[in-house]
Amino acid sequence: MIMRWFPGGDDSVTLKQIKQVPGVSGVATCLPDVPVGEVWPLDRLIALKEEINNAGLEVEVIESVNIHEEIKKGLPTRDRYIENYIKTMANLAAIGVKCLCYNFMPVIDWARSDLATPLPDGSTVLSYRHEQVLKMNPAKIADVMLSQARGYSLPGWEPERLAAMAADIEFYQSMTPEDYWKNIKYFLAAVVPYAEKYGIKMAIHPDDPPWPLYGLPKLITNAEGIRTFLSLYDSVYNGLTLCTGSLGANPDNNLPALIREFTAQGRVHFAHIRNVKHHSSRDFDECAHLSSCGNLDMYAIVKAFYDNGFDGYIRPDHGRMIWEEKARPGYGLYDRALGVTYLLGLWEAISKMKTEQPEENGVSSPQ
Ligand code: CS2
Ligand code: MN
């Protein structure tokens, strides 16, 4: 069990606080100030590892090394950025990173229409209203999101990416899904052999929200898209971050079934587990992790991971803002810590039911 943490003073949550959340052994982190496409310097990674280890935590997961737009666009200049990506992977391997989360979303990483929607209990959450998002142009979404970020960087919304946003969106609108798949395949063909060599499990994050937006290609949104993705490079090192909050925003996605399928294949390396409250098939609020607070069955979700031998990393995903906390939207300490405790509680109960059942039935367990 790990939690996401941002270094360099770009987080209201401290490593010491994370260390005090029972059951958390490490963090998923990144170097948010390295421009997308540049190599992450080894000396900075060594210092980062030291800082995290000194707090008694591990740094085996990176979230995310973002992919330069020219790779996603399939431009001839992509090779330089792919080379840099591989150099970054070598540096990550040198500090002992085992799992690399990234995404292949064109231009816009995750999108929401509001980052502080009040719930009846007075907490606030990130929310998404499809009509509202369609009415805003993408630059306006960026403004809304950044103005609500309380001064913290928003992962995936890097300034250099925003500058080119309008032109980039136009570029992708004429790209077919087939072409986009080809660009993903080209990237995987270049990078996965190095993931194998360095012992780093690649773990793509699904598109968030999991449906088309502004005519941009959105491919990693459901079981079928994930099957296609995994077939592009057949290696356990080409795997998934299975984010229940992202995939679960679409009520058509059957989360336990999806988790069973890909976990049993050994392709899920990182689980982001959170609940979501549907208002329609395209409108949702984020919510507390508990099953009763949203539309996902968290017991069935955790059980699907457990039953299929999941041995990767888990983190709670976005939390609500509660108890007057002032933090990066989605990434306060309190509600994520409650999420950790709930998820570990489910895990303990499920694992004990499994191991204790045979004795209860009078059947002796195998020696
Ligand atoms: C999102 C993303 O899952 C999340 O928490 O906020 O920022 C996610 O980390 C990236 O899209 C993964 O590459
Ligand atoms: Mn996620």
pLDDT, tens only, 7-35: 999 999 999 999 999 999 999 999 999 99
Q: Is 331 designated active site? A: yes
| 222 touches 249 (CB < 8 A) | no
Q: Quote the pLDDT of residue 159.
A: 76
Structure-block tokens of residue 262: 């890909």
C-alpha dist (Å) from residue 14 to 2, 73, 116:
14, 37, 22
Residues near ligand 1 (Cβ within 6 A) = 63-64, 101-103, 109-110, 155-156, 205, 243, 272, 317-318
Q: Is 279 designated active site? A: no
pLDDT, tens only, 276-304: 999 999 999 999 999 999 999 999 999 99
Helix or strand (DSSP H, E) at 85: helix 78-94
Q: Which string of DSSP letters, residue by residue, matches 97-119?
A: --EEEEE--SS--S--SEEEEEP
**Assigned CATH topology for domain 2-355:** TIM Barrel (3.20.20)
- What does the mean pLDDT of the chain come to? 94
3-state secondary structure of 217: coil
Which listed ligand is nearest to 61 at the C-alpha? 1
Q: Which atom of ligand 1 is nearest to the CA of 241?
A: 12
| Alpha carbon of 152 to ligand 1 centroid (Å) | 15
Q: Is 293 designated active site? A: no
What's this model's pTM, rounded to 2 decimal places?
Answer: 0.95
359 pLDDT higher than 70: no
Compare 227 and 359 and report the one with higher pLDDT: 227
Residues 6+ apart with CB under 8 A from 44: 31, 34
Residues 6+ apart with CB under 8 A from 142: 157, 162, 165
Nearest partner of 271 among 98, 101, 49, judged by Cα: 101
Q: Quote the pLDDT of residue 140.
A: 82
Nearest partner of 200 among 269, 154, 256, judged by Cα: 269
